[in-house]
């Protein structure tokens, strides 16, 4: 399976001629990531994880494209893409489903707290093919499956470096790559990733930085 990292939180997985895109947001090269995709998984409603215009366009242009998202997000997408309502499905935490040949398990249910004055929204993380875990905006540690490839929210308004490192330690994946990196400059990113690399290695996780549009086989 090939994993391609796009700017910020967007990831594309390609396997056996099928493509699955996670969190194509407004900070990402979403139209590029969605080109030729067979399915989309959305973790939550924030625009840095969901470029509604790009997803609706992709649904219109590709009659085979399907989308799974938390109930509120799915409802909004159905209103925006009225011709594709039967291809937009609610993603429910604790459930398993298959999209475009990828086995998916959904986790979590709630976005991490930003501030007491900011409403908390739904957030669903996904493990794909018992391998790749995209947590969205949360540090939910999945149960029932061993994660081999962890996508780490490296920086966010709702986190600090210690929590990022603790998340990597708790999940104990073989390897990890950064997501949610669009809010840091090069110096800040290098500083945070150095801690995650050093601490993760103590617990068996190899962390590696991926540039935008860089691909790896996992």
Domain encompassing residue 126 = 2-210
Pair 132, 13: CB distance under 8 Å: yes
Question: Are the C-beta atoms of residues 104 and 68 closer than 8 Å to each other?
Answer: yes
Structure tokens at 69: 């998202």
DSSP 51-79: -HHHHHHHHHH-TT-EEEE-HHHHHHHHH
Would 216 be classed as within a structural domain?
Answer: no
Tens digit of each residue's pLDDT (9 = 90 or more) over 83-131: 999 999 999 999 999 999 999 999 999 999 999 999 999 999 999 999 9
Token pair 């930003």 in the structure block, residue: 114
Which pairing describes strands 66-69 and 39-41: parallel, antiparallel, or unpaired?
parallel
Nearest to 52 by CA among 62, 42, 37: 42
| E strand or H helix that includes residue 194 | helix 186-202
Q: Is 180 left (phi over 0), alpha (psi -120 to 50) or beta?
A: left
Domains: count for the chain: 1
Q: How many other CB atoms are found less than 10 A from the CB of residue 186? A: 7
Per-residue pLDDT of the chain (218 residues; tens, 9 = 90+): 999 999 999 999 999 999 999 999 999 999 999 999 999 999 999 999 999 999 999 999 999 999 999 999 999 999 999 999 999 999 999 999 999 999 999 999 999 999 999 999 999 999 999 999 999 999 999 999 999 999 999 999 999 999 999 999 999 999 999 999 999 999 999 999 999 999 999 999 999 999 999 999 99
Tokens 């990828």, residue? 102
Model pLDDT for residues 68-77, shown as the tens digit of each residue: 999 999 999 9
In a domain, 150, yes or no: yes
29 domain residue, yes or no: yes
CATH of the domain at 74: 3.60.15.10
Contacts of 164 (CB under 8 A, 6+ apart): 152, 153, 154, 155, 192, 195, 196
Which string of b and e fits 109-143 if b means at least 16 CB within 10 Å? bbbbebeeeeeeebbbbbbbbebbbbbbbbbbbbe
Do 9 and 126 meet the contact criterion of CB atoms below 8 Å apart? no
- Whether residue 135 lies inside any domain: the answer is yes
Is 218 a member of any domain? no
Distance CA 66, CA 178 (A): 26
Whether residue 182 lies inside any domain: the answer is: yes
Does 132 reside within a domain? yes
For the beta carbon of residue 147, count every other beta carbon within 10 angstroms: 21
């Amino acid at each position: 399976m090939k994993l391609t990292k796009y700017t910020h939180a967007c990831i594309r997985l390609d396997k056996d001629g099928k493509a699955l895109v996670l969190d194509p947001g407004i900070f990402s090269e979403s139209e590029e990531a969605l080109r030729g995709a067979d399915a989309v998984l959305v973790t939550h409603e924030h625009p840095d994880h969901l470029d509604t215009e790009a997803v609706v366009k992709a649904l219109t242009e590709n009659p085979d494209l399907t989308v799974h998202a938390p109930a509120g997000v799915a409802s909004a997408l159905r209103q925006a893409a009225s011709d594709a309502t039967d291809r937009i499905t609610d993603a429910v935490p604790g459930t398993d489903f298959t999209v475009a040949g990828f086995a998916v398990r959904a986790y979590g249910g709630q976005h991490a707290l930003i501030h007491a004055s900011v409403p908390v929204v739904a957030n669903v993380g996904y493990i794909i093919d018992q391998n790749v875990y995209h947590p969205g905006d949360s540090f939910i540690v999945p149960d029932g499956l061993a994660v081999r490839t962890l996508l780490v929210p490296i920086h966010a308004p709702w986190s600090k470096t210690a929590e990022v490192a603790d998340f990597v330690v708790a999940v104990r994946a073989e390897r990890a790559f950064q997501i949610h990196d669009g809010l840091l400059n090069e110096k800040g990113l290098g500083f945070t990733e150095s801690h995650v690399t050093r601490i993760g290695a103590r617990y068996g996780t190899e962390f590696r930085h991926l540039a935008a549009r860089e691909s790896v086989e996992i």
